[in-house]
Amino acid sequence: MNSQTVLTGLLGHPVSHSLSPLMHNRAFDVLGLNIRYAAFDVEPARIGEAVASIRALGLRGVNVTIPHKVSVMAHLDEIDEEARFIGAVNTIVNENGRLIGYNTDGRGYVRSLVEETGVVLTRQSALMLGAGGAARGVAFALLASGLPKLTVANRTREKADELVRDLGQIYPQAELRAICTEEVGACTANATLLVQTTSIGMHPHTDVSPLDAKHLHEGLLVSDLIYNPLDTKLLRDAAYAGARTHRGVGMFIYQGALSFEYWTKQQAPVVEMRAVVMDALTHRN
């Protein structure tokens, strides 16, 4: 670092576990950019001060993670249409003191899914587990990419209904349905893409799955947003059943790549970003 170094970073609480600094600093090094990325642990009550510091210190931008993705929106000058629909921001870009909020999670997920599996989304019938913030972003991006059919399953049926209603206003041509989790088993037979957006199966609870293995079949592509562990119980069960699988680590990498591209206006070195993240995850647990 020197007096010309541009700063970027992460606002969250906690942030000590984050792999984002490792990933982004590797990307800046690969492209020879004098930019650094740091993780800032910000108490919820101080998020407004943290956002003000982006302007005051001239940071190029930041990523935003739990628990600030929603509360940060009130402190920004502009919010992208996609982020507004999702109701959360994970990327802030500082354009000469004007702070613009984006959400790259959904697009990062779809880019990962398509590039890593070759799936043709316009031919799929998807079943999504969960209706929270991650699900909103992923569903928005899937439908924007031409997915024709989506069933949203959630423990609280009302939350699934709300998401389907919101999606239907933007994508009236899509065939959308909301169900409760008790109905999931009956829906898997006709699904070709299963998207798992809940925290069930995340480290350290790696022996649980949101779906009974008996409902998995070889006609499914099973995608889990969780990336720690790399292979969740759901993915292990799916592989045993003959289904294709897709890990969640790609979403983490590509959402970061999109943030990187907003800040630098250059194409992110995804291969190198993936390599450093995979190395860290392999040796973490």
Lowest mean pLDDT among 130-134, 169-173, 232-236, 249-253: 130-134
Is there a cis peptide before residue 67, judged by omega within 30 degrees of 0?
Answer: yes
Residue 264's nearest CA partner among 21, 18, 28 is: 28
How many C-beta atoms lie closer than 10 Å to residue 172's C-beta? Answer: 8
Predicted local confidence at residue 283, as pLDDT = 83
Sequence spans of domains, the chain: 6-103+255-284, 106-247
Q: Do 6-103+255-284 and 106-247 share a fold?
A: yes
List residues forming the annotated binding site for shikimate. 18-20, 65, 90, 105, 227, 255
Read off the pLDDT of each residue in 112-132 and give the average, rounded to a whole number: 97
List residues forming the annotated binding site. 18-20, 65, 81, 90, 105, 130-134, 154-159, 225, 227, 248, 255
Per-position DSSP letters for the chain, written without gaps between them: --TT-EEEEEEESS-TT--HHHHHHHHHHHTT--EEEEEEE--GGGHHHHHHHHHHHT--EEEE-TT-TTGGGGG-SEE-HHHHHHT---EEEEETTEEEEE--HHHHHHHHHHHHH---GGG-EEEEE--SHHHHHHHHHHHHTT--EEEEEESSHHHHHHHHHHHHHH-TTSEEEEEEGGGHHHHGGG-SEEEE-SSTT-TT-TT--SS-GGG--TT-EEEE---SSSS-HHHHHHHHTT-EEE-THHHHHHHHHHHHHHHHSS---HHHHHHHHHHHHHHH-
Tens-digit pLDDT profile for residues 265-277: 999 999 999 999 9
Task: Give the pair of three-digit tokens for residue 141.
Answer: 């991006």
Please list, in sequence order, all residues whose beta carbon lies within 8 angstroms of the beta carbon of residue 185, skipping any fewer than 6 positions away. 211, 212, 214, 215
Between CA 225 and CA 251 the distance in angstroms is 7
Between CA 120 and CA 166 the distance in angstroms is 24
Question: Is the pLDDT score of 92 beyond 90?
Answer: yes
Predicted local confidence at residue 97, as pLDDT = 96
Confidence of residue 240 (pLDDT cuts 50, 70, 90): very high
CATH number of 106-247: 3.40.50.720
Vertex 27 angle, CA 94 and 93, to 5° = 10
To the nearest 10 degrees (0 to 180), the angle between helices 249-264 and 105-117 is: 120
List residues forming the annotated binding site for NADP(+). 81, 130-134, 154-159, 225, 248
Predicted local confidence at residue 285, as pLDDT = 58
**Rg of the chain, C-alpha, whole Å:** 19
Predicted local confidence at residue 187, as pLDDT = 93
Tens-digit pLDDT profile for residues 26-70: 999 999 999 999 999 999 999 999 999 999 999 999 999 989 999
Vertex 15 angle, CA 224 and 38, to 5° = 110
Predicted local confidence at residue 121, as pLDDT = 98
| 69 tagged catalytic | yes
Question: 6-103+255-284: which CATH topology?
Answer: Rossmann fold (3.40.50)
Q: Indicate the average pLDDT of the chain.
A: 96
Lowest mean pLDDT among 15-19, 52-56, 113-117, 125-129: 15-19
Predicted local confidence at residue 18, as pLDDT = 92
Confidence of residue 120 (pLDDT cuts 50, 70, 90): very high
Confidence of residue 203 (pLDDT cuts 50, 70, 90): confident
Q: HSE of 186 in the Cβ direction (CA atoms, 13 Å)?
A: 5
Read off the pLDDT of each residue in 113-119 and give the average, rounded to a whole number: 97
* Catalytic residue of the set 69, 149, 233, 265: 69
Tens-digit pLDDT profile for residues 66-82: 899 999 999 999 999 99
Predicted local confidence at residue 29, as pLDDT = 98
Per-residue burial over 93-113, b if 16 or more Cβ lie within 10 Å, else e, is bbeeeebbbbbbbbbbbbbbb
